[in-house]
Amino acid sequence: MNDSDEGDSDRSGAVVRPPIAWLAAVGGGLLLDGAYPLPFLPGLLTGRLIGLAIFAAGLALMIWAATTFRRAGTEIQTTRPTSAIVEVGPYRFSRNPIYVAMLLGIFGLALAFNSLWLLFLLMPFWLVIRYGVVAREEAYLERKFASEYLTYKARVRRWL
């Protein structure tokens, strides 16, 4: 095995970079909403405020999780090797707080824009993240960190 093969194996092998999947879901939902609006909330102002609050909560969770990764000195990008299992901050409660934040972001935007399209695209986004990203990350972390990751995995839920 040459060095580049070894470097390739020290990655999760995610099928897509999560921010790209998120932008595709949000962008697709907003484009569809612009072409053929599908509102679902009767009280738009209330929905908008609640949606913005949920989006802000997701953004705050994203910042907290990313900052926690950086402080631990490990990579946040799925295309780079992970150097540590992070068990502090939001990672005490969820093994995937960044993806939870992304889901909250889409849900919040669906409410804020009163867009059923964004709600529809939430499920395909989750499926891609769950099976194309998280499943591969979990297998990678089990290979790389073995019992350390398995202990963490047994203690902390995947989502919430």
Task: Give DSSP secondary structure letters for 59-118.
Answer: HHHHHHHHHHHHHHT---STTS-------SGGGGT-S-HHHHHHHHHHHHHHHHTT-HHH
37-42 long-range contacts, Cβ below 8 Å, gap at least 24?
37/115, 38/115, 38/116, 38/117, 39/114, 39/115, 39/116, 40/114, 40/115, 40/116, 40/119, 41/111, 41/114
Mean pLDDT of all residues in 79-106:
96
Query: Residue 18 is which amino acid?
Result: P
The pLDDT of residue 121: 97
Is 14 inside a domain boundary? no
**Taking the model in full, what pTM does it have?**
0.91
DSSP category for residue 130? I
DSSP category for residue 120? H
DSSP category for residue 1? -
Give the H or E element holding residue 12: none
Reported confidence tier of residue 155, pLDDT bands at 50, 70, 90? very high
The pLDDT of residue 6: 45
The pLDDT of residue 8: 61
Is 2 inside a domain boundary? no
Mean pLDDT across the chain, nearest whole number?
A: 92
pLDDT at position 7 over 60: no
- In this structure, of 6-10, 27-31, 83-87, 113-117, the range with the lowest mean pLDDT score is 6-10
The pLDDT of residue 129: 98
pLDDT tens across 16-73, in order? 999 999 999 999 999 999 999 999 988 667 789 999 999 999 999 999 999 999 999 9
Is 95 inside a domain boundary? yes
Is 13 inside a domain boundary? no
Domain limits for position 86? 22-35+43-155
Is 3 inside a domain boundary? no
Scan for tokens 């073995």, then name that residue: 146
Is 133 inside a domain boundary? yes
Domain count, the chain: 1
